[in-house]
Amino acid sequence: MSRGIVRENGGAAAAPGFGARLRAERERKGIGVRELSRQLDVSASMISQIERERVMPSVNTLYSITSALGISLDELFGGAPAAARPVDGAEPHAARGPGYVQRREGQQSLSLGSGVRWDLLTSEPNTDVEFLRTTYDVGSESTPENALMRHSGHEYGTVIEGTLGVTVGFETHELEAGDSISFDSSTPHRLFNAGDVPAIAIWVVVGRGGDPRTTNH
């Protein structure tokens, strides 16, 4: 892990190049830091620190930023079409696996705030589907309990280790290994570790794209 990079809610993390891609996309769309901060209801300082990779955003904050900029997670990880755009300061990612197979050593990862890690499982760029292995450290969460998130698309998940709590609307479920869930992403929701060991799940979001409706509730 790189020193000097902290998560939005504390802790160290590393994801070289993603901040430069966010900054390049914001500038390409002609959106200023203060304008973006007003849209997302966060401080301009927070946006600047995320772009400089001095602070790692929470899941909710990252979804809000990518939705406001109209980019997918695949583009954030460096897939086309974002990979085709020159980005000053962005470091090259490990090569994506050729053809149908994504080898473990070629997977791209992003460690977010609150102890959440995303591993991209697609072998080729796909802006319509987000296919991830998610790891929630003990005590971690996608968003605070009083600030559920929502966006377009539909989510499908299955837990492979630990206990993952999922709140959808007014219902909260604790999923053990082998359990699965699906729900409309426009329903306010939250994911969190509900156990005493890391919770690992395979997660798919279909049809989120660059959705400007991502909000806190």
Residue 9 has pLDDT above 50, yes or no: no
What pLDDT score does 78 carry? 66
* DSSP, residue by residue, 146-193: T--EE-SSEEEEEEEES-EEEEETTEEEEEPTT-EEEEETTS-EEEEE
What pLDDT score does 172 carry? 98
The dihedral built from the CA positions of residue 86, 87, 92 and 96, taken in this order, carries a sign that is: negative
Report the CATH number at residue 29. 1.10.260.40
Does residue 115 fall inside a structural domain? no
Instruction: Give the C-alpha separation, 57 to 59, whole Å.
Output: 7
Q: For the segment 76-87, what is each residue's pLDDT rounded down to a tens digit?
A: 776 544 333 334
Same domain, 76 and 132: no
Domain end among 20, 52, 84: 84
Q: Are 74 and 120 in contact (CB under 8 A)?
A: yes
Does residue 99 fall inside a structural domain? no
Full-model pTM: 0.73
Q: Provide the domain count of the chain.
A: 2
Q: For the segment 91-137, what is each residue's pLDDT rounded down to a tens digit?
A: 434 444 457 888 888 888 888 877 999 998 988 777 788 899 999 99
Distances (CA, A) of 22 to 37, 51, 71, 115, 209: 13, 6, 9, 21, 15
What pLDDT score does 156 carry? 98
What pLDDT score does 79 carry? 56
Q: Nearest CA to 204 among 177, 178, 183, 176?
A: 183
- φ and ψ of 54, to 5 deg: -90, -20
Which domain, by its residues, includes 176? 128-209
- Token pair 């149908």 is found at 100
Does residue 158 fall inside a structural domain? yes
